[in-house]
Amino acid sequence: MHEQTKRDFMKRLLVLLLATLALGVPAADLSSEYASKGELIISSFASAPFPHPQRAEGHKYKDKFFSAQDHYSDSTVAIFIPKGFRETGRLDFVVHFHGWGNHVENVLHHYELIDQFVASGRNAILIVPQGPRDASDSFGGKLEDTNGFKIFMGEVGDILRNKSGKKDFGVGRVVLSGHSGGYEVMSAIVDHGGISEKVAEVWLFDALYAQTDRFLRWEDKTHGRLLNIYTENGGTKKRSEEMMAMLKSRGTEFFAAKEGDSKAKDLQSNKLIFLFTDLAHDEVVGKHRTFQEFLETSCLEELKKAE
């Protein structure tokens, strides 16, 4: 019995080692891939969206089942610090949430998030948490819990201090960016994430499927900037038009235009912005470098700007 127990233990240890290697090598490769642009930290977070009790048994969408092991056990978070970043007592962050059927490595590559981030020249740190991995699900896990985002950003600070040698600092302005199903966790963050007053901007990339009231309450309270780019067939056009009608009925000013017709000054001088695009749903973040455009017209300071 003792020998059998020992063999079982060794088998479990081998499985764990192989799993660790499988995760570690791509993470190292990914970090080195962007080394010329800045420092990319890939880390596992205790406060990451998953695992979460509500997905402990997996999740079913229509006729497809997504197991907890394959889709809700990845606690990866990517943190990118651009070269030339100026460290101050209060650091600004852009937190991007991916949509359905995606994972962190693909999000960085497919939408060229880091390339757009670097090209924008903003003095901020980019964070990309792993949501439901390659699943048809908008649930944001622990970041939908009350004060979940506050706890998460606290761990971001710990990671930066331990792995990057950053000195003591506080959270400055936070920009929430989300594509498609990323809207759900963003709405929870501005509603009860614990530091909604620090959220300066919300960017919805063909993502306004629901939770309009939450986003409007946040904007009414903080007067932050909300950008909503939507498509003809992405499923968000009706809700976007309803939101604009609601704003019009209550006498709230907003800016609406077709993407390409708006100027940088339009995005900078307005707080509620609606852009209709002919792009496909999966193209709204990267094809026209819209993520970069939103960054360049944001409240975030430039890297080269003197303090």
Average pLDDT on 181-203 reads 98
Q: Output the pTM of the full model.
A: 0.90
Task: Give the model's pLDDT for residue 165.
Answer: 73
Task: Give the model's pLDDT for residue 30.
Answer: 84
**pLDDT surpasses 60 at 24:** no
Please say whether the beta carbons of 193 and 148 come within 8 A. yes
pLDDT tens for residues 56-112? Answer: 999 999 999 999 999 999 999 999 999 999 988 899 999 999 999 999 999 999 999
